[in-house]
Chains A and B, each alone.
Chain A
Amino acid sequence: MIPLAFGLPAFMQPNRLWLVAVPVLLLGAYLLLLRRKSKQGMRYTNTSILDIIVPAQSQWLRHITVGLALLSLVCLAFAWARPLGTDEVPRERATVVIILDCSYSMDATDLEPSRFAVAKDEANQFIDALPAGYNVSVIEMYGTSLMILPPSTDHAAAKRAITAATTQPSTDVAGAIELAVKALQMAPAGDDGDPVPGMVVMLSDASGTTANSSPQQAASELAAMGVPLYPIVFGTDNGYVDLPEADGSIKRWQVAPDHAFFDRLAEITGGQAYSADDAAEARQAYEKIGSEIGYVEEQKEITAWMAGVAALFAAVAAAGAVMLGARWR
């Protein structure tokens, strides 16, 4: 629902809004009368004593009563014009592409037990929470990204694929996003023939990225399809991995996540990047993404709601009128 404070809703019959003129005119008349009233009144000589004996009577009850009565009239006028509010309806079908970063940098143990384990674990829980009708596709991202699972409603297969993933050298973000575009194109259309809405969740740390083609360009392809990309960036700034070199020695690589890079990608596609310094934050990110993709906004008539607000205002105004009308003696 859109409350009044966020601006006026759309109306089904906006031509009926002329009724708002009635309370506006009444308000003008009230202000005019208030102004005139101050000229009239009883003269009394001994007001210095009156001042200390009878403390100033506040006029707020008067003004609030009038204001609420007029506000209730405004709401009634709005209700007559049949306002439209937005309602969140659970989405029945959607395609979720999960890009799982399988580069060596995900082996960093700055998250307990490791970035990769946390990412896999949380991804599985995320899939569990998805409605059964959603298509899930899994893409492993490393030197040559691979679509492990094309879009399908078989969530168990997706979880198996994620669980079975192992780390590989290098990272190809652009390739993975292009694969996601392909996966979304492969997704079956909805019952009415329209393409199903989709979203891409990228679990990555972005370290050691090899850019064969520009990831930004791939992201803009995604944006052209109207699909948002939600990167979840794993790891802390002092994460590291020890990798064997060609001569057999072990070399330590600093693998700090590149937040700015993912923020940029998310911005291009209209999604949002989340950073996950630990497992709890990763879960929160998933919950946010889940709520963002789980519902669709729909316009709906909110006449009854508006009338209810008008009735509430009228009730309080009536209470004020009773207070004013009664003689408290």
Chain B
Amino acid sequence: MAQAPVASELAAVQSVLAEPAGPTLPLNQLAPEAALRRLELAIVRRLEGFLQGDHLGLLPGPGSDLNDARTYVPGQDDVRRMDWAVTARTTIPHVRDTVADRELEVWALLDVTPSMNWGTGGVTKRDLGIAAIATIGFLSQKMGDRFGGLVMRPSGLRRIPARSGRTALYALLRSMLTEPIVPDETAGPMDLPQGIDQMARMQRRRGLRVVVSDFLTPGDVELDPTVETEWERPLRRLAVRNQVICVETLDRHEVDFPDVGDILIRDPETSFERYVNTSDDEARLRMNAASAAQRERIRVAIRRAGCAHIQLRTDRDWVQDIARFVLAYRRVAGLLHQPPRGVGK
């Protein structure tokens, strides 16, 4: 995996001082398309759709997976589908139904609020999120699978329609990359809980949902993992009908508080402004402990909502992290995405 060139790395580092002017990753470095062809994302929830696809559907239809046997209706059923074993035992002609193989519809919600325009490891968290969407997108490029995007700006959601094919995916990624950077301290009605809620309402058809965010709520100082986060309930609602993967983008210095001396620290989203002596070892240790507790709370909340969780860091290779996740996901996905009681798989 080729790393980003020095110039764009500098652009990402400058995001520490001011909001970046543009994307810190070029389109062709988002994900190694060819290398990802051999990987497959496990889809465990049944899908709805109209088209023939590669994934297990919810309703009967032409497909490869066998469903129930039912009595033969002359003139309507194909005799080639006769289930001879059942017919012989019951002496009544039966046919075997199959479950339709459907296409997968993936929707990715990208959080582009100002706190995502930040990163010290060569890319900003926003661009890391786009790279994650690219990687997941190439993983789900089976026949007929569609990929759509929602860009969450403070002012509202922007919908990029779901289309199938790698060209369409590239168009979506380019559209996300060239999305104008949200200026700092932009106030708006949209936040992550609302974004997730709207995504659940807008896309009724079952499928895979990817939520890309840093899952930080401005002003939330709760560290106790047993307390629900603000976005947990919408996320759980989204997971009722969909298979949800949460991609948490993270920077090294959000976990390890930087030692940069006495400095003014501003928040990109709120009006927070404070001089902080970052050389204070004790304070830094406490800050790191609190950040770790905060991350643990986010992890527990995502798990509680029945979603898969990928943690990506700006200073690490996201393709490797996602590939490792996909390999482990094969085994746990079925258990992880158990639908709530009363909802079909």
Contact = CB atoms under 8 A, between A and B. Distances in A.
Interface residues of B, number: 43
A57 B274 contact: yes
Interface string A44-57: 11111111111011
* Main SS at interface, chain A: loop
A205 to B, nearest CB: 70
Interface in A280-323: none
Interface in A1-51: 37-38, 40-51
Interface stretch (B102-110, B202-210, B281-289): B281-289
Given A52-B221, A54-B283, A46 B276 contact: no
A252 interface: no
B279 A54 contact: no
Given A42-B263, A43-B184, A49 B218 contact: no
B184 to A, nearest CB: 7
B216 A37 contact: no
A47 B265 contact: yes
A54 B288 CA distance: 12
Given A40-B264, A41-B273, A54-B287, A46 B254 contact: yes
Most chain A CB atoms below 10 A, which of B276, B277, B279: B276
Contacts of A51: 221, 272, 274
A40 B260 CA distance: 15
Contact of A38 (B214, B218, B273): B273
Given A52-B221, A56-B274, A329-B279, A46 B291 contact: yes
Contacts of B78: none
Interface in B246-269: 251, 254, 260, 263-269
Given A37-B264, A52-B290, A56-B274, A45 B219 contact: no
Interface residues of A, number: 22
B264 to A, nearest CB: 3
B155 interface: no
A53 B267 contact: no
Contacts of A238: none
B214 A49 contact: no
A327 B261 CA distance: 10
A57 B275 contact: yes
Contacts of B15: 43
A56 B281 CA distance: 17
B216 A46 contact: yes
Contact of A47 (B17, B251, B272): B272
Contacts of B269: 45
Nearest to A58: B275
Contacts of A47: 218, 265-267, 270, 272, 274
25 contacts: A41-B265, A42-B16, A42-B17, A43-B118, A43-B267, A44-B265, A45-B214, A45-B251, A46-B254, A46-B291, A46-B294, A47-B267, A47-B270, A48-B218, A48-B272, A49-B223, A49-B287, A51-B272, A53-B283, A53-B286, A53-B290, A57-B277, A59-B275, A327-B279, A329-B280
Interface of A: 37-38, 40-54, 56-57, 59, 327, 329
